Structure 1
């Protein structure tokens, strides 16, 4: 039944997004589901249309589970793209158990300007911001970093490992649901705490 719903939705989406480069199926798999790309425009701030690329991965259990979504636009920052993705996933939760991709695209087209109008996270509270720093003695320091998100997880982990090695730091990278933490320990001169 779910496979039939997905087939019907894909046929409908191909008919709706029938302009040049608006729709492209990237892969189909019986184990990983279907991945496709939609190029659309959404009304941004100042009534300016913003081109957006949306990549959806529909797992084989879709629509009983959320699709995976990627948002890209040359006209938006990475943080804005992440925020748009988060808002789309929040909207998707209200549409579970029914085909939802077209509804999500329509919702984005109508609501992008409101998403962009929300204040960005204040500097120092975002990616790579120190949340806690503790001194164990004059030379040995502990620092706990909270990351907002991690796009290329494998590459990011390698980079953090290299930095820690270069600075002679020990630490641990922890994934706790959506929370990503890095705990570092090392010489005080190798850990700098930004001002509050």
Structure 2
């Protein structure tokens, strides 16, 4: 096993250190390593959906794609297949570098968009979502404070569309009279105000 892969596995074990979050299923010099990560991702109704993600890292990983299996009691078989396909598409963008943590973060942030795709059996409109969470300029985060919001439902839909068009992820938070928008994405898609 190569040192970067050994380091990645050690980091994953430290990150997913809660009860039953991480489990190594097998290790072999010829077949690679198979492990399971239990995590949660935000679904269509802002409810966290438990996911069981099984990764098989072949001996020549990360120069090749990992094997991925997705299972959840809250998703249909077609939805699990769609999630797996999207994870493999993401993995193609990350070849030659350790990618499992990036893939888990990506699915945590984008599961709701996948579930909203017509081919997964729910939703009627095709949504776009980020194809990568890393770029040359890195991942940027910005926090916006809104003075007021008149038509909340319409405004929320507009903000969601803008975020989708700009390939950003984020949160819209209402804390009493304070309204905040937290955005995360490529530097080129987040305009930082000059002071």
What TM-score do you get using the length of structure 2 for normalisation?
0.61
Where does residue 107 of structure 1 map in the other structure?
A: 106
Output the CA distance in 2 between the equivalents of 1:29 and 1:81. 27
Output the CA distance in 1 between the equivalents of 2:72 and 2:100. 18
TM-superposed deviation, 1:100 = 0.1
Q: List structure 1 runs of 4+ shifted beyond 6 angstroms.
A: none
Aligned residues: 121
Where does residue 94 of structure 1 map in the other structure?
A: 93
TM-superposed deviation, 1:30 = 0.4
Output the CA distance in 2 between the equivalents of 1:45 and 1:116. 7
TM-superposed deviation, 1:120 = 2.3
Q: 1:70 aligned to 2:61?
A: no
Output the CA distance in 2 between the equivalents of 1:8 and 1:23. 15
- Cα RMSD of the aligned pairs, angstroms, is 1.1
Q: Matches of residues 31-46 of structure 1 in structure 2 within 5 Å?
A: 31-46=30-45
Output the CA distance in 1 between the equivalents of 2:14 and 2:48. 22
User: Which of these two proteins has the greater Rg computed from alpha carbons?
Assistant: 1
Where does residue 116 of structure 1 map in the other structure?
A: 115
Q: 1:5 aligned to 2:1?
A: no
In 2 relative to 1, CA 83–24 (structure 1 residues): closer, same or farther, beyond 3 Å?
same
Output the CA distance in 2 between the equivalents of 1:46 and 1:12. 31
